Structure 1
Amino acid sequence: MNLEYFPGAADQRTLILFHGTNGTTEEMIDFGKRLSPKSPLLAVGTDHQTSMGTQYFAQTWTEQPDATEIERALNELVAELKSITIAHQTLAEAVGVGYSNGASFLLGGIYAQVLPFHRHLLFHPLPVPTSAAETLLTDRVWLSHGQREPHPTMAQFHMMVSSLWERKADVTSLISGGSHMIAPAEVNAAVQWLSN
């Protein structure tokens, strides 16, 4: 994994950013500036190649990803983040932000309870295998979905939301009128969520 850092104010939460399929750290730094202009930003990129392109783990529109693939990528991420301190904050204070494959990656980390941070913005995640038992009482999760995107289906999105609720996470969800692209209304809602 490769990291790109953009400094920000020490009194603002760090955003840790994860791109979608074939995305870049530069794109996510720019997106992070839209969400929280004063925050320190850490974009986590990957060079891992799959049949779909560059992804944190192999994921297609319609097939359930392999849990061992997600575990491999999460182990790599946790090792990468272990010794990082940003703007004198521990990563427990940070917010994870992911889009598409990056959002699914964070969702897998939430279920596995291996991430050092417990606030998450997930833009258009696709389903990942769920863990059996863990309660998520310390996790705040915001998720978005486009009404017109074919994958995941609306039913699958509602199942992701319900799965987090059942594990006692603090969940906020938003359905935009668009497709798999991030709509302006989603950005506005995410900015509002970050301010609370």
Structure 2
Amino acid sequence: MDCKNKKIMLSAYRDGELSEEERREIEKHLKACSVCTEELKEIQKLSSLIKEVPEIKTSPQFEDRLKERLNITPELVMLKQLSRTMEEIEKKVTEYQKKAYPEIMTIEDLSFYLQISIETIWASLREIPSFRVGDQLRFRKGSVDEWIGRKETPHLYYHPTPLSFEGRQEELSLYEPRSYVGHSEKSQN
């Protein structure tokens, strides 16, 4: 790096904001470069002078006039606070959802997640992506979400050509629940 690039980093060096490698590089350069060493001394003097300047207390009227000039209205201040609050709420909701619905779910978790009964899940087990760990049935949330995406039926809500009553019944019958695996129609009667 040349002196120009080093000078840019001097303030960060003084404030301790550089990585270990960058810090060593600057220190090596400072040993060899009197110009940058003087620049660093000037930065340190300026920093000391700034610390010595007493804090100026402004009047509330000054702050009001400044806000007015900057077009900062009480509504804008409230809007910014509300925006920050909403961001915090969204962050907490996202964290809650991650905790509430883990990536790997039990059948009970899936029942709660899909808002359907465990019996319905058992009946749809051939369709719902799942895997076994020993004798335990598990569901990967991402796979279930993909499956839901494939199952969504927007054509039931909008059909380019109107269907007759019989046509609607036939289309809806495709989505009727199937019988339990291992159970016959006779055993259900």
Shared fold, TM over 0.5? no
TM-score by length of 2: 0.18
Higher strand share: 1
Which structure dedicates a bigger proportion of its chain to helix? 2
TM-score, length basis structure 1: 0.18
Which has the larger Rg?
2
